[in-house]
Chains A and B, each alone.
Chain A
Amino acid sequence: MMEGKVDVKFGEWIQQGWELYKANIGIWIVASLLVIVISVATLGILSGPMMAGMAWMALVLVDRKEPKPQMGDVFKGFDYFLQSFLFYLVWGVIMLAVSFVTLIPCIGTLVVIVVSIALNTALMFGLFLIVDKKMEFWPASMLSLNVVKPNFFPLLGLLVVAGLIGQVGSIACGIGVIVTMPITVCILAVAYRNVFGVQAAA
């Protein structure tokens, strides 16, 4: 397991993520639409399992496994329902608690922004570990944190770039996110597989 320094290959990983997305664009758009509609309709309760489904699809494509994932495979995330649900619930509640710091004048908002960016970076591989290695949410979060810690700034850079690409779609009244969000998932799946290696797959 990579708990030391990792060689973060920005260009290569983004290129591979883009290729994965481009080759299966139809499936990704429908899957993304399902994820967003169901997550919003259920007040975020199903965000965890739906995103786990997308992570599962991305990992199958990264590993070039056959058969290729289909649109309905986004519901595969329900095989990891409890852990993915708890992952989103627990870290969501922690973020909500942290957001109360904004009540402190001047530095409050800055503190919340820094903490949320740091937390998102630390947990960037959490959901992939739950899906790939069938880990429980807390050990997965801690393992993600331990791997990210020594490579914090390069991985933060990757997450910012991937996140910006994924959010480009929000310019078009937010609807474009359906098209661009899966690109972020693909880039992160490529990064996960490069950091943790194929042998890590259960």
Chain B
Amino acid sequence: MIDYIMSCLSLLNRVSEIESSKDIIGRLHCQSSGVICPLHGVMLLNELFEDTATLIVGAPECVYYPQVGTLIRLDNPTLSGIYTYVMDENDVVFGSADGLKIAAQAVLEDPEIAALFLVSSCVFELIGDDLRAISADIANALGKPVFPVHTSNYDHHCPDYFKAIERMLEAIAPVLSKQETIPHSVNLLGRIFHGNAKGSLRQSELGAMLEKNGVTINMEFPSRVRLEHIKQLTAAELNIVTDRVGIRLAKIMQEKYGIPYVLFESTFSHQTIEETYLSIGRFLRVAWQDEVSRLSAHTKERISEVSCIVEGETIIAGCLPPDPFQSVAFLSKLKMKPLVVASACLSRGSEEAIANLLKAGEDPYVIHACEREPMEEALKTLRPRFYVGHAPHEKVSALGIRHIGCFMAEPEHLGFRSIDNFLLRLESAAMQTPAEKGCD
């Protein structure tokens, strides 16, 4: 058994061997599961738009599974607004444009539906039908907006469902038109969609800071909304992009309507949070430097306090957000010993984090985030003191490992408070006696 486990680990690459996302798969050249298809994001976002429909075009299984997901998630799935067009071999050989136009027309005949997202998937993209032209034709014929959304799972630029959400938000930009600016107002663009995360960005530290300093939150987007209200987005003075899914829309709004944006994502870098707050302050003419400095100093102090408690402790970690390599680099900054990091792909900032890890003398194994078996084996064999990530709590605790849920999995985990919150959970887990359960 030990041989088997050790050979399980021997199939993994170490951080020092990761040059591209493909290296994360390891030496078996394939993986026992993968990241869920981008169409999952389409399904999630569709739920937030009250009066639009979504027509997904693809192979039978590509459209079957999102519909099953809708059934599971919604009380009344027949009201979901998701329609599917099932491609067959004829569509592949002769193209699907004609059939798709008829299908879209049938959907848009419903007077309750104000617009349509026309969403492609792998097979459609591969055969090269012109989604944009088909959408334009349908829109012209029916007088309702049709938003083309390109998603294909094999596309390097669309590796996961967050990217599909980003593309849907970008696709909706044509309905925007310039509105009168509300002084001292912001939009919060993008939100965490991990693990069905609920909650509002208004409850975050950022939301509280804005409110306290007299800044109006014009819109939190995406949130449950009707199409006509989306126009109101351009009334804001500044866009604060609180998750990467909102970045493309923010860029378009900057280009077309001159609304600047600031990126304020979940992060373990208190310097980045401080700089971002100050940047927002400059845009909105808010003098919150002292308060921001005070919060930053407090977090810095907490990092140093908790570091003394967890120094030298072993940990296995990997979940979003933030980028797992960045999170593990933060753990090494706390002087912990990361043994394994789980990630699905490299993202912006991963390279720097990897360099920092190696500089700190740490070279943990890398497991693909969706590979359950190697992670279970790693937990059993390496027996770290702590584990951060998704897993049944009882199973992890039974191994004598302290399980600390996720890093920052809620929308309100934004700002210094998100770091403080994690440190608090780590600290309380460290203080636990082995017999105690439930650190999260």
Does B associate with A?
A: no
